[in-house]
Amino acid sequence: MSLFYNIGIAIANFGLKIGATFNEKIKKGVLGRQETFSVLQENVTPQDKTLWFHCASLGEYEQGLPVFKILRNTYTTHKIVLSFFSPSGYEIRKNTPIADVVVYLPIDTKKNAKAFINLLKPELTVFIKYDIWPNFLNELQSQGLRAILISAAFRNDQSYFKFYGKPLRKALFAFEHIFTQNEISKQLLQTINYHAVTVSGDTRFDRVSSQLDIDNTLDFIEAFKNNKLCVVAGSTWPEGENLLVNYINTKASSAIKFIIAPHNIKDSQINQLKDRLKVASVLYSEKDTHTLETAQVFIVNTIGILTKIYNYADIAYVGGGLGTSGLHNTLEPAVFGVPIIIGNIFDKFPEAKDMIALNGMFSISNQEEFDAILDDLIKNSHERIQAGTNNSNYISSNKGAVTKILDYLGLS
């Protein structure tokens, strides 16, 4: 492995430790990584057969979940170790039934990689999308252990395809097979002479489609909606909330219901949002003590229920596409046949580009555009229903990635 890469990792590790003194999220990761090896030693023995799943964060976990579930049910005598790099994944899924042991991935040093792999000796390792750690992957390869990468998406501006990207490029060859989301990614891999690749599509389509197979009923949302047209704003950030609050306060008919699920549910931000609204509103945490039918806005100050709430949407707004944060999951409302409004920053999200082209999604950049699109979708039921149908059809037509991966593993 490149000396420069290892020096860079050491510097990054030092930077994280410094950052942990100022940032609670970074601190959780630093402290969690300090416990990884003791957790593994307590829960994995040399006699155990293991599988290893690695995800950068929560989004990649959800992306890999359809494959994880089948592997869990197939390898019933194996211990499954799930690792995260980000606290936002670990903290939410540290008790998932998919895995026997959930840990933070140690920093990618040669020493850590050797110790980690020697403890696990995984029969199969599954990485999701893009979190490529050369020392871990090279150690897997040197020990002749199987690894695959699923739902991979590559761009030509990534270091794998640059003259200085040799360390990361070499790491890709530790995967015995890579399943890409699209043909462009496959072609990019072929330019570096990696050919063990299949265009499978994105497992997220299979993941969100499975949402239709479960009961998505939420009695308190039904009571709040009260058979009225409902706009659900999911994973919102302040810049999107500004648009919503202005619209609700100045333009919205009392016949329209709004559900807002902020990305940040700290009490200070939730209370500030509620205080700015000039119409009757209720928090999730107040739902058992308030009359829901009379409120016009329902604010979701909890996690874990947004996907089911989208089932009640007639129109959805998905946050993250207006500021510096990335666009959040638009496939979750799309599977329910809902037209979607997003911000104008979506270049790295091919599904957004696709649904915009299909007239199921609408991009806005300011209050005037937001108001115009939302007014049109509210008033024009035919356009609203057709846009939602376009989105649900898009989800259905892109399923199947999981089957291709399982075919390769001989499990279908």
Nearest by Cα to 78 from 117, 45, 115, 35: 45
Decide the pairing of beta strands 361-363 and 340-342: parallel
State the CB neighbour count (10 A cutoff) for residue 164: 10
- Of 24, 35, 42, 60, the active-site residue reads 60
Cβ atoms of residues 367 and 341 within 8 Å: no
Per the DSSP assignment, residues forming a β-bridge with 257 are: 230
CA distance 315 to 277: 20
Cβ atoms of residues 351 and 331 within 8 Å: yes
CA distance 373 to 252: 13
Give burial (CB, 10 Å; 0-12/13-18/19+) of 141.
Answer: middle
- The number of residues in the chain equals 412
- Listed in order, strand segments (DSSP E) in 217-338 are 229-236, 256-262, 281-283, 297-299, 315-318
CA distance 253 to 183: 46
Nearest by Cα to 79 from 44, 106, 55, 41: 44
Give burial (CB, 10 Å; 0-12/13-18/19+) of 86.
Answer: buried
Active site residue 176: no
CA distance 188 to 191: 5
CA distance 34 to 17: 11
DSSP 170-236: HHHTT-SEEEESSHHHHHHHHHTT---EEE---HHHHHHHGGGGS----HHHHHHHTTSEEEEEEEE
Residues 6+ away with beta carbon under 8 Å from 29: 16, 20, 85, 86, 87, 90, 104
Phi-psi region of 226 (alpha: psi -120 to 50; beta: other; left: phi over 0): left
Task: Kindly list the strands in the beta sheet with 146-152, ordered across the sheet, starting from the edge strand earlier in the chain.
Answer: 101-104, 79-84, 50-55, 124-128, 146-152, 177-180, 197-199
Give catalytic residues, as residue numbers: 60
